[in-house]
Amino acid sequence: MQKIVLNSLLLALAIYLIYWANRSLDNYTLSILNNIGIFAILALSYNLINGVAGQFSLEPNGFVAIGAYMGALFTIPTETKIDMFALVDPAPVVLQMHSGFLPAILIGGATAAIIAAMLSFPVFRVRGDYLAIVTLGFGFIIRIFAMNNPAYTNGAMGLNDIPGNADFIWIGLITIVTFIVMLNVITSRYGRAMKAVRDDEDAAIAMGVNTFAIKTTAFVTSAFFEGVGGALLASFLTTISPDQFTFLLTFQLLIIIVLGGLGSMSGALFATVLVMGGMEWLRFLDDDMNILGYHTGAHPGMRMVVFAILLVIMMLFARKGLFGDKEIGETVRKRFGKKRSLDQQRSGEAL
C-alpha cells in the first residue's frame, strides 16, 4: 500500500511539473525539453528490444520514419498536401488520410508495430551480428522507399507544414506512459522471459520458453513506441525528410541506452537528459569565448569534441552504464538497505 501511495504521489508530481513547465518556461527551454522527451520515448522503447531482450537490433530509424510519415500524412490537411506535392500528384490514398492528432499518433505506432510483426519472421531466424545487419538493412530500405516514392512521401523534398500539435504536455504525458508501460513489461513474466533469452537463449529454449514469441513481443512493443515517438517528432519539427532518418539516429539512441545501462529504463531516461541536454548546454563552446581577456575565437563542433571526451570518461568509470541493468528504486533500496544493515550491526556490537 505504501508503495502504491508513493508511486501515485510521484506520478501526480510529474504531471504537475509538466503542466507548470509548459506554462512557465520560455520557448527555447521548452524546445530542449520537448527534444529530450521525444528521445526518451525512443530510448525507452529501443532499450526493451536491445537491453532487456538482448537482441542487437539496429532498426529504430526505420520505425521512427514510419511513425513520422504516417503521423504527418494523417494530420496535414488535404489542401496542403495538394499544394505540397510538387514532383508528382499525391496518391489517392494519401489524400484520404486524415484524422485528429491523437489517432494519428496511434496510427503511426500501430503501423510500425504491424510491420515489425511481419518483419519478425525473417529477422529472428538469425542471431547476434547477423541480426544487426538484417535490421540495419531494414532502416536503409525505409529511407530509400521514402526517397523514391514521391506520390506517397513527396520524395527527397519531404513533408512540410505539419501541424505543430506536439507541445510539452503531449510529449511529457506520453513519455510518462511509455516509462510506466516499459516498467510493467520488464517486471511481468514476459519481461522475465526476455531477460532469460538475453542471458542464455539456448537455456531458455531448454526450459520451455517460446523464444520466438518473446522476441517478437519485445520487437513489436518497441516498434509501436518508436512509431509513436516518430509521429511526435514530425509534429514537433513540423517538417520531415528522409535525411533525418539515417543510421545516425539509431547510433544516438544506442549511445543513450549503453550510457544509461542496457536493460535499465531509469538509466535510459537519465542518459537521455545527459546526452540530448548536454549537446545543447555545451553549445557555448562553439562560440567565441573571453577567457581572462583572451578571445578564443569561434570553433564550430568543439562542443561535440568535449561531449565525446566526457562520454568516454563516464564509460571508463561505469562500464555497465550509469545504472547497469537496475532501476533507480532498486539502486536506492540497495544502498540504503546496506547502510541500514551496517547501522544495525554496529548497534548490536555496541550493545
Domain harbouring 113, CATH code = 1.10.3470
Q: How far apart are CA 304 and CA 317, in angstroms?
A: 20
**Is 302 inside any structural domain?**
no
Who's near 337: CB < 8 A, 6+ residues apart?
A: none
**Is 288 inside any structural domain?**
no
* Per-residue confidence band for 46, with pLDDT thresholds at 50, 70 and 90: very high
Alpha helices, DSSP H, located in the chain: 2-24, 27-47, 60-75, 78-84, 92-96, 101-123, 128-148, 150-153, 168-187, 189-199, 201-206, 211-237, 247-260, 265-272, 278-281, 302-317, 328-350
The helix (H) or strand (E) run that includes residue 290 is strand 290-291
Mean pLDDT of 257-266: 89
Whether residue 35 has pLDDT greater than 90:
yes
Q: How far apart are CA 180 and CA 178, in angstroms?
A: 6
Residue range of the domain that includes 120: 2-244
Phi, psi angle pair for 97, to nearest 5°: -75, 120
Q: Is the Cβ–Cβ distance between 127 and 201 less than 8 Å?
A: yes
Mean pLDDT of 307-320: 79
Q: How far apart are CA 187 and CA 146, in angstroms?
A: 37
HEC per residue, 176-223: HHHHHHHHHHHHCHHHHHHHHHHHCHHHHHHCCCCHHHHHHHHHHHHH
Residue identified by cell 536506492 is 332
Mean pLDDT of 326-339: 64
**Is 280 inside any structural domain?**
no
pTM: 0.89
Q: Is 18 left (phi over 0), alpha (psi -120 to 50) or beta?
A: alpha
**Is 94 inside any structural domain?**
yes
Whether residue 3 has pLDDT greater than 80:
no
**Is 149 inside any structural domain?**
yes
Quote the number of domains for the chain: 1
* Per-residue confidence band for 326, with pLDDT thresholds at 50, 70 and 90: confident
Instruction: Output the nine-digit C-alpha cell for 95.
Output: 489524400
Q: How far apart are CA 331 and CA 343, in angstroms?
A: 18
**Is 303 inside any structural domain?**
no
Q: How far apart are CA 170 and CA 37, in angstroms?
A: 10
Mean pLDDT of 328-338: 62
Q: What confidence tens digit (pLDDT) does each residue in 216-236 have?
A: 999 999 999 999 999 999 999
Mean pLDDT of 232-258: 92
Tell me, what's the pLDDT at 281? 83
* Per-residue confidence band for 341, with pLDDT thresholds at 50, 70 and 90: low
**Is 342 inside any structural domain?**
no
Cα 196–201–202 angle (5° rounding)?
125
Q: Is the Cβ–Cβ distance between 48 and 186 less than 8 Å?
A: yes
Whether residue 346 has pLDDT greater than 60:
no
* Per-residue confidence band for 317, with pLDDT thresholds at 50, 70 and 90: confident
Q: How far apart are CA 45 and CA 60, in angstroms?
A: 9
Percent over 90 (pLDDT), the chain: 55
Tell me, what's the pLDDT at 333? 62
Whether residue 349 has pLDDT greater than 80:
no
* Per-residue confidence band for 348, with pLDDT thresholds at 50, 70 and 90: low
Q: What confidence tens digit (pLDDT) does each residue in 79-137 have?
A: 999 888 888 889 999 999 999 999 999 999 999 999 999 999 988 988 888 888 999 99
- Cα 135 to the chain's mean position, in Å? 17
Instruction: Output the nine-digit C-alpha cell for 263.
Output: 536493460
How confident is the prediction for the chain on average, in pLDDT?
A: 87
Among residues 234, 227, 264, the alpha carbon closest in space to that of 75 is found at 234
Among residues 195, 16, 219, the alpha carbon closest in space to that of 134 is found at 219
Lowest-confidence segment of 41-50, 88-97, 294-303 by average pLDDT: 294-303
Tell me, what's the pLDDT at 331? 60
Percent over 70 (pLDDT), the chain: 90
Beta bridge partners of 294: 291
Among residues 3, 54, 50, 26, the alpha carbon closest in space to that of 198 is found at 54
**Is 55 inside any structural domain?**
yes
